[in-house]
Structures are given as structure tokens and as C-alpha cells.
Amino acid sequence: MTAIEEIYEFKQLCIQTETTIRNLRQQGAIKEEVLANNIKVELSNLQIISDNYLEINKEEPVCIEESSKTELYYCYNCNFNTNNKTILVQHLVLENVKLKHTGEKPFKCNICDYRCRRLQHLKRHMCKHTGEKPFKCNICDYCCTTNWSLRMHMYKHTREKPFKCNLCDHSCNTKSALKIHIRKHTGEKPFKCNICDHGCTNKRALKVHVRKHTGEKPFKCNICDHCSTTKWCLKLHKRKHTANKPYKCNICDHGCNTKSALKIHIRKHTGEKPFQCNICDYRCITKWDLTVHMHKHTANKPYKCYICDHGCNTKSALKIHIRNHTGEKPFKCNICDYCSNQMRSLKTHMRKHTGEKPFKCNICDYCSTQMRSLKTHMRKHTGEKPFKCSICAYCTITKLSLENHMSKHTGKSPFKCNICDHGCTNKGALKLHVRKHTGEKPFKCNICDHCSTTKWCLKLHKRKHTGEKPFKCNICDHGCNTKSALKIHIRKHTGEKPFQCNICDYCCTTKWDLTVHMRKHTANKPYKCNICDHGCNTKSALKIHIRNHTGEKPFKCNICDYCSNQMRYLKTHMHKHTGEKPFKCSICAYCTITKLSLKNHMSKHTGKSPFKCNTCDYCTTNMSSLKSHMCKHTSEK
């Protein structure tokens, strides 16, 4: 060390000592009257000797004006005392330099392994064990172990940040904080990790980083087994136990654990997305989201699974993926048996119990338990269909719908049922299919005994109770339960029949009707009655047939005693009470209550007699006339 460097170091120590004495004065450790401007120490009378220790030059004495009272001045590091203030200053400087150069830490905590150079530091450390916080804010309830922490806290009340950055609008409470901030602009990271290449802007950040390598988590939760690498992380964790979210949104009721989290949340209301991709038009509300997005362009998935070849964009995503292999589901519902491999899924599940649907559409009454469901819903309003087929013009609002569509081109059904040969395009569809084998119907109606295999089917069923038919025809007054049902209904008005039989001229409005029709050609009636030999084309037809054996007539008129084994017969019957005749002839004024009657009537206009006797040449416009005619042949025999 050069003489200039040693002089500079000594000067810094003098400044430090002056600060220490000022603090002692404030604490009452040194009498006020001896700290007036009655001390004059000439730096020329101090010399730095070869062993880097400081001593007084005895040849020329230091000029001192002593107080009229005899007082003793005590060192706060040891038992040293003197009645001469200058000697105390010299002692303090000398002791500080000695300990700094030798690295000696003579003061040891008798509770833990902590050691330090100064008694003052030990006293401050002991407050952690005793819980004592002697420095109290006179504005709020805040209290702390050091005067420095209290001074920093007071800036929150005064809003004072005297140290301004000359590169941006940022300001700091302290000069050292400003110095660290400026390193963000310069890119300087002087504190290097000796294990990896990571660099930090400050010593404390490096200390926290090193804990990633060592696995050290010194901050322990006193409620659960959680440990954190920093005191701040522990503070955030504890808010989970207390449900304390001190930062409240002034637009909605949402609360956040941190100020930065609140700032991000508010961007959802304002629509602000300050982080933009420099390759595509993608914008997002957090820097982290942008980092994850950039991996899509680089195809970089740095976090690799050690069991399979799967790669993830983030460490947390990899952790969740590995749970698929291990079967670990650490997040458990405290109401039912549900458990999940990620906290997000559990939070969504809990909303089923609470009924909470925080994500609301600002156009209609739709609300959802998940943000992604709301995003998908909004596409119905905007007409956006971002998922496009690469083979045909098909586009859709969900990725799952596109995957299902692509299987039509590829013919692939990768998810196979282990009970039958049925294959599905996705895992969810397979899960629903398996319920046909197991008979599982987990979704129960809270009004009647009806159970459904899917939540959607239950929703449709409930509309029977409420009478809700949200999809209205813009040609007539007819309402439908689903959008697809409305689409089929409109085909009755337009006459569109897109599904055609490849054997005969038959065409129809739905794919299902075509499937049922094709069984006439194949003579395939897969649904067999277990009482007689009768076979049916559909499951519902078999159900109706069995009612002929049992005599069950569940569809009852609420006006008269009429009851039927089919809903369509009840609907036709109800027209007698209402006087409604929905089936109208397009040529004359004829109208009727059944479609069959209209069909028979139309043959009068067309001259067609579709019902023919297979014994003679007789033909007629209706089935009942043909049946009457057939009786003649049977009586002749």
C-alpha cells in the first residue's frame, strides 16, 4: 500500500470515527459538554508507521482544550477509559485499523456462531435473539434494531429521495443505493460468483446468489417447514398464512403481496403491455413473460427433463413436468379428495367449492373460474379464430378443436381405449369415452336425479328446468339450447341438407341422421332389445321400444290426463291445447300439428303417392290409407 493510499484510508477512518462519536452522543454514551468545538487535532502530528498502525507523534504534543470538569470517556469496544477526549479518538481509530488489517473478530455471540469486530455490532446482533427493537418511528408502529434502518424507514414518510440518477428518473434514499442503480445502466457487475459466471451489482445480491449453489436457506418460517434464501422471501411466504395482502387495487377488490405485483395487476385494467418482442408483434405485461416468449423464436428450452426428452422454458415448468413422471401431487384440496401437481390447478379447483368466478366478460354476463376460459370466450365476440388448419381453410378458437380437426386429415387417434378399440384425438376425449364403459357420471343435477358424463351435458340438462334457450332463430321465434342446434334448425328454413347418402338419394340436415339412415342399407341394428328380438338403429329408439314392454309413459300433459312414451308425441298433443299448427303448406293455406300430416298433404299438390302396396299397384299419399288397403289382401287370404 502506498503512502497516499494509507493517508486516504486513515482519512476515511477519521470520518467514520466522527460518525460513531456523533451516534454515541445521541445515545448519551459521551457527555454533551465535552463534544463542543474544544478539540483541535492537527493531522501533521499524526504519522502512519510501517506496520500500518497509527500512533501519536510524541515529539510535538497535540493541542487540547480540556473541560473544567473531569470526565471519563469510555470505549464502546473494550474497557478502555480516559479523561482525555483526544486519546479516546486516537484509541477508537487505532482499534478500528488493527481489527480491519488483522481480520480479528474478538466479539462472539454466546447463542450462535456470530462474530464481529465491534461490540456495537454484537449488541445489534443480540437484538435478533432477544427480539428487542429499540429504535421506534414516531409516526407509525415501525421499530427496528439499528438507527440506520430507522433513518431509511423515515424516508417512506418524508418521501425524500435526495440521490437522483442522471441517466433516468430514478431516485434513491442513499448514495450507495444510487451507485448500485447506476450499474444497471453501465452493465457493471463487479461482484463475481466463484462457482459460476454469474455477476452481481452488489455484495448482498451475490451472497443471495451463492445460496443457490450451497442450498442454504437461513430464514425459517415459524408456522410451517418452509425456508427461504432471503428475509424478504420469508416475509412474502408468511403472508400466505395470514392472508395479508397489503397492496390493494383501487379499481377492483384484488390484493397483492408486493407493490410490484400490484403494478403488474393494474396493467390488466389499463391494458398496458410495456414489454414488446423485437421479432413479432407479441406484447406482455411482465419482463419474465417476454423472456419465456423469446424461447419460442430461438426454440431454446434450456430446462431438460432427465427422464424423457421434454424441454421446458422455465425451471418451474420443468418441476411440474417431472411430477407427471413421479405422480407427485402435493397440492391437496381440504374439502374433497382432489389433488394436483401444481398450485394453479388447485386454486382453480377451489373456486368450484366457493362458486367464485372472478373472470368476467365486459360484453355479456359470462364469467369463469379461469382467465384462459375468458380469453377463449372473448373470441366469440371478436370473431377471432387464431388456430388455422394447414391443410384446409378450417379455423377455430381453441387449440383442442384444431387438434380434433387435424385427425380428420391424418386419420390418427393416438389416445387408445384399453377396453375397446376406440381411439381419440386427445386425452380429454378418451377420458369421456372411458366413462361409457365404467358408467361414471360425476356431474349431478341439484334439482332432479339426472347425472351427466360432462359438465357441458349437465349445463344443457339444467336448461330443461329453467326453460332457458339462449340461442334464438332470427327467422322465427324458435329458441335452442345450443349454437349447433340453432344451426341445424336454420337449415329447416333454408332447406340446406349437407349430408347425403352415397347409396341412394337421401340427404339430411345432420350427420347423425345420415348415420341412422345408413343402417337401413346395411341392415345393421346394433341396439338389441333384451326382452324380444327387436333391433334398433339408435340407443334412444331402443329406450323408447323397451317402454312398450314396461308400459312406462314418463311424458305427461299438465292440462289433461294424456301421457306418452315419447316427448315428441307429448309436444304434438300440446298443440291441441294451444291450437298451434306450426307446419304450414307453402302452396295453400293448409296448416297442421304434425310434420307427417303436412307431408301427406303436400302429395296432393305434387301428385306423388309415396306409399305403395307391394302386392298390387295401389299407391296412396299416407301410411294409414295403405294399412287399410293391406287389410283387404289379408282378408282375401
Last residue of a domain, one of 170, 193, 216: 193
Q: For 57-92, how does the pLDDT look when each residue is reduced to its tens digit (9 = 90+)?
A: 333 333 334 444 556 776 655 667 777 766 666 666
Say how far apart CA 285 and CA 269 lie, in whole Å: 11
Q: How many residues does the chain have?
A: 637
- Report the number of distinct structural domains present in the chain: 3
Same domain, yes or no: 546 and 631: yes
Confidence bin at 151 (pLDDT 50/70/90) = confident
- Provide the pLDDT for residue 21: 60
Same domain, 470 and 459: no
User: Do 403 and 547 reside in the same domain of the chain?
Assistant: no
Q: What is the mean pLDDT of the chain?
A: 80
Concatenated DSSP letters of 443-489: EE-SSSS-EESSHHHHHHHHHHHH----EE-SSSS-EESSHHHHHHH
Domain that holds residue 423: 385-464
Lowest mean pLDDT among 72-81, 262-271, 443-452: 72-81
Residue 50 has pLDDT above 50, yes or no: no
pLDDT (mean) for 271-288: 88
448 and 486 housed in the same domain: no
Domain end: 434, 449, 464, which one? 464
Q: Cβ-count burial of 54 within 10 angstroms (0-12 exposed, 13-18 middle, 19+ buried)?
A: buried
Q: Examine the pLDDT at 32 and tell me if it is beyond 60.
A: no
pLDDT of residue 41: 33
C-alpha span between 384 and 579 (Å, rounded): 44
- For residues 453 and 586, membership in a common domain is answered with no
The CA distances from residue 505 to 152, 345, 500, 522, 596, in Å, are 87, 51, 7, 16, 20
Average pLDDT for 185-204: 89
With respect to residue 99, please indicate whether it lies within any of the assigned structural domains. Answer: yes
- pLDDT tens figures, 387-422: 888 888 889 988 888 888 888 788 777 788 888 888
Residue 303 lies in a domain: no
Question: Does residue 390 sit within a domain?
Answer: yes
Q: Is the pLDDT of residue 434 over 80?
A: yes
pLDDT digits (tens, 9 = 90+) for 256-266: 888 888 888 98
pLDDT at 1: 45
Residue 23 has pLDDT above 70, yes or no: no
Asked if pLDDT for residue 455 goes beyond 70, the answer is yes
Say yes or no: 15 and 141 in one domain: yes
396 and 457 together in one domain: yes
Q: What does the pLDDT read at residue 83?
A: 77
- For residue 44, being part of any structural domain is answered with yes
Judgement on whether residues 142 and 61 belong to the same structural domain of the protein: yes
User: Is residue 368 included in any domain, yes or no?
Assistant: no
What is the per-residue pLDDT for 29? Answer: 44
Cβ-based neighbours of 636, under 8 Å, separated by 6 or more: none
Q: How far apart are CA 38 and CA 67, in angstroms?
A: 8
Q: Does 483 lie in the same domain as 457? A: no
Q: Write down the pLDDT at residue 560.
A: 92
Residues 318-338: tens digit of each pLDDT:
888 888 888 888 888 888 888
What pLDDT band is residue 10 in, cutting at 50, 70 and 90? low
Q: Which of 38-47, 126-135, 270-279, 362-371 has the lowest mean pLDDT?
A: 38-47
The Cα–Cα gap between 471 and 480 comes to 5
625 occurs within a structural domain? yes
Q: Where does the pLDDT of residue 550 fall: very low under 50, low under 70, confident under 90, or very high at 90 and above?
A: very high
**Span 504-531, average pLDDT:** 86
Q: Examine residue 520 and state whether it is found in any structural domain, yes or no.
A: yes
The pLDDT value given to residue 39: 34
User: Is the model's pLDDT at 466 over the cut of 60?
Assistant: yes
Question: How many other C-beta atoms are found inside a 10 Å radius of the C-beta of residue 316?
Answer: 11
Give pLDDT, residue 219: 87
| Residue 397 φ/ψ, nearest 5 degrees | -90, -15
Domain with residue 590: its CATH number is 3.30.160.60
* Mean pLDDT calculated for residue range 432-445: 88
Task: Give domain status of residue 342, yes or no.
Answer: no
The per-residue pLDDT for range 563-593, each reduced to its tens digit, is: 998 888 888 898 889 888 888 888 898 898 8
Check residue 563 and give its pLDDT. 92
Reading the block at residue 224, the C-alpha cell is: 410451517
The per-residue pLDDT for range 326-370, each reduced to its tens digit, is: 888 888 888 888 899 888 888 888 888 888 888 888 888 888 888
Higher-pLDDT residue of 609, 227: 227
Q: For position 37, what pLDDT does the model report? A: 33
The better pLDDT of the pair 103, 384 is held by 384
Lowest mean pLDDT among 269-278, 300-309, 445-454: 300-309
In this prediction, residue 475 has a pLDDT band, given cuts at 50, 70 and 90, of confident
> Same domain for 419 and 557?
no
Residues 455 and 470 in one domain: no
CB-neighbour burial class of residue 377 (10 A; exposed 0-12, middle 13-18, buried 19+): middle
Residue ending a domain, choose from 193, 208, 231: 193
Helix (H) or strand (E) holding 211: helix 203-214
Taking residues 293-316, what's their average pLDDT?
82
Q: Are residues 470 and 423 part of one domain?
A: no
